[in-house]
Amino acid sequence: MAKIQSETVPQTLAWPLWALGQMLKRNYLSIGIALVLVWVVAAPIIMMLLSSLREGNFITPGAFTLGNYRAVYLSHQTYPALLNTLLFASAGTIISLVVAGLLAWLVERTDMPGRDWAWTMMLLPLAMPGILRSMAWILLLSPRSGILNIWAREIIKLFGANPGEEGPLNIFTLTGMIFVEAANGSTSLFLLMVGAFRLMDPSMEEAARVSGANTLTTVRRVTVGLMMPAILAAGMYAFLGNLDNFEVPLLIGLQAGIYVLPTLIYFTAYVSPSYGLATAYSSIFILFAVLLVWIYYRVIIRRTERYASITGKGYRPRQLSIGRWRWAGLGLFIVFFFLNIGLPFFVLLWASVLPSYMVPSRAALQFLTLENFVTLINEPTIVNSTVNTVILGFITATGTMGLAYLVSWLIVRLKVRGGMMLDGLAFVPHSIPTISIALALIVFYLHPAVRWIPIYGSLWIMMLALMTRYLAFATRTSNSAMTQLHQELEEAARTSGAGHLTTLARITFPLLLPPFIGGWVWVFSHTIRSFSIPLMLATPSQQTIAVVMYHYWERKADFSLASTLGVAMLVVVGLLTYFSRRFIAQGFTKAQ
């Protein structure tokens, strides 16, 4: 009897182990991709949340506690910063939505002249990183030495009034922060909304006009109602982005003592330092993200049929005549372009050709020089940061698009179980501030259980943080492109005996090369202009261009050299943006 039992037990254990081994053998690729995604995205975030529940620090964690959350939610610093954050994000979002919606409507729904030029004027501001825009507006609207303020005071003197020594405008206010961010965000929202305006069926607008409604009433009662899903989606995207904004509050807000949650997290983590408190502050953003997603699904997704307007053969896009306002509409684009990139680029270019910054004047022309551009080539710190930035951009873009391509393949092509969970996991980082993502990786890779992976202080940890940040965009791009690709060639390859890896590498990937490279260029250009993640994760020997630019601007007060770096960066990013759009357009045209 004992012998029978001794033989039965190993057989009983062997069967589930054998079944597990077979399952792993059949699904090794899917499991491997899922584990990489979990390691890159989920593990640091989970570790960050656990760190917020521990005493001590993440290197020598203590007992579990809610003390960090009590300190955060009972602190006298939290609620003023939260109020500033909400005002900054909400006002910037509303202004951006109104501006972007009006400009998108003019381009797609009216007979405004020069619509192609208007498109170009809306796209060019994408090339200007947020840190450069903030620097430029400081030089323009600093209360004492800003160019526009000096000129305004001279005009006031002509009328015999005393303008004082400062003003009349001041960029170092919450209003100034909102202005800069609203101008910055309008371009992205324009691109999000312009497609929806193009696809909207105009028959309901025409019915309203036949019924006697004027243009304003038609837009307010009909167009805005039909556009509500696009408006709400764009508004949530902008609000989350404004909550995450770090450059404007750091460069402009701190001058006036205005703190928002991202700057509070940064100084709590690096000045105090208290990583437990910093990670607890990050929980506020997660609550906002959950609330916004719930609102979106509750209000829009569950009521999709209420907003459907494109129906079969009756759909014919037509343009609305706005009469004498046609040229005024084009004038709005010119003003927007002038404020959003014309003035900022002019002041940066002016500062870059001076040995030290001076207000534009006839006397300053004698000091014009290209010496700063020569310094870019000869200064070791700048050269090293340029090399680091290019390497970081290359490995981040390759890693992000590679992982997104594999995740999309699992979800769209193989339709694995739990695919939607993987897709959601890839999208989650979009709702988490970049500064919190950087903090999560610090907590994770300095934890005793993971410290054996020696990437802290290297470009690799910055690469992982930026991958996490841009994975949401990359998976949306890959999902969309892979959905449009027919499966016939892949099925033929598998019928011929090709395995999953062979089919993936030799059939699917070549067909998706145009959108893949387009996404790669997008991630690369955003990586080299990224500021908040490199600022938190860079070491003196592993700095990027954006961090060095901030160092010259803030610590050395060398506005001219910082502006020179900015001009060079703007030209490179502008060229990348231009060629990226051309490649995407040509790639999809050929694919058709």
Per the CB < 8 A criterion, the answer to whether 397 and 463 are in contact is no
Alpha-carbon span 466 to 538, nearest angstrom: 13
Unique residue bearing structure tokens 């009972």 = 74
Distance, in Å, from the CA atom of 246 to the CA atom of 267, rounded to the nearest integer, reads: 12
Give the confidence band of 1 by pLDDT, cuts at 50, 70, 90. very low
Residues 260 and 88: beta-carbon distance below 8 Å: yes
Of 180-184, 254-258, 415-419, the range with the lowest mean pLDDT is 415-419
* Whole-number pLDDT of residue 18: 58
Question: 323-345 as b/e, with b when 16 or more CB fall inside 10 Å?
Answer: eeebeebbebbeebbeebbbbbb
Residue 56, beta-bridge partner list: 61
- Parse the chain into domains and list their residue ranges: 33-62+370-592, 79-261+329-346
Pick one of 1.10.3720.10, 2.30.30.40, 3.40.50.2300, 3.30.950.10 as the CATH number of 33-62+370-592. 1.10.3720.10
What size, in residues, is the chain? Answer: 592
Mean pLDDT to the nearest integer, 194-207: 64
Lowest mean pLDDT among 231-235, 358-362, 398-402: 231-235
Per-residue pLDDT, 388: 92
The two tokens of residue 528 are 């080299």
119, 227, 240, 542 from 101: Cα distances, Å: 14, 10, 18, 41
- Taking phi over 0 as left and psi of -120 to 50 as alpha, with beta for the rest, 56 belongs to left
More confident: 150 or 487: 150
Residue 306 has pLDDT above 60, yes or no: no
pLDDT digits (tens, 9 = 90+) for 108-146: 777 788 877 887 777 777 767 788 888 899 999 998 888
> How much is the pLDDT for 318?
60
Fold of 79-261+329-346: MetI-like fold (1.10.3720)
* Residue 424 pLDDT: 73
pLDDT of residue 592: 42
- Rounded CA gap, 2 and 8, in Å? 10
- Output the pLDDT for position 569: 82
Which has the minimum average pLDDT: 55-69, 75-89, 534-548? Answer: 55-69
Q: How far is CA 282 from CA 45, 291, 435, 439, in A?
A: 10, 15, 9, 9
pLDDT attached to residue 16? 64
Least confident of 6-20, 71-85, 204-218: 6-20
Mean pLDDT (whole number) for 322-341: 85
The span from the CA of 55 to the CA of 458, in Å, is 28
Non-local CB neighbours of 17 within 8 Å, separated by 6+ positions: none
Tell me: pLDDT of 583 over 60. Answer: no
Residue 36 has what pLDDT?
84
- The rounded distance, in Å, linking the Cα atoms of 390 and 394 is 6
Residue 528: pLDDT above 80?
A: yes
Same fold, 33-62+370-592 and 79-261+329-346: yes
Mean pLDDT to the nearest integer, 292-297: 65
Please report the pLDDT score of residue 452 as a whole number.
81
Asked if residue 590 has pLDDT above 60, the reply is no
Minimum mean pLDDT range among 32-41, 187-196, 297-306, 526-535: 297-306
Per-residue HEC secondary structure of 283-327 comes to: HHHHHHHHHHHHHHHHHCHHHHHHHCCCCHHHCCCCCECCHHHHH
Lowest mean pLDDT among 12-16, 522-526, 534-538: 12-16
Residue 313: the pLDDT is 45
Average pLDDT score over residue span 239-260: 87
Q: Is the pLDDT of residue 86 over 80?
A: yes
Q: Do the beta carbons of residue 27 and residue 414 sit within 8 Å? A: no
pLDDT value of residue 462: 92
Q: What mean pLDDT is predicted for residues 189-194?
A: 75
Q: Rounded mean pLDDT of the chain?
A: 78
47 pLDDT exceeds 90?
no
pLDDT computed for residue 2 by the predictor:
47
pTM summary value: 0.78
Output the pLDDT for position 13: 54
The pLDDT of residue 431 is above 80:
no
Tokens of 36: 């990489």
* Beta-bridge partner residues of 110: 320
Q: Give CA separation, 261 vs 82, 92, 249, 562, in Å.
A: 6, 16, 9, 27
Q: N- to C-terminal Cα distance for the chain?
A: 73
Distances, alpha carbon 188 to alpha carbons 25, 454, 523, in Å: 44, 37, 15
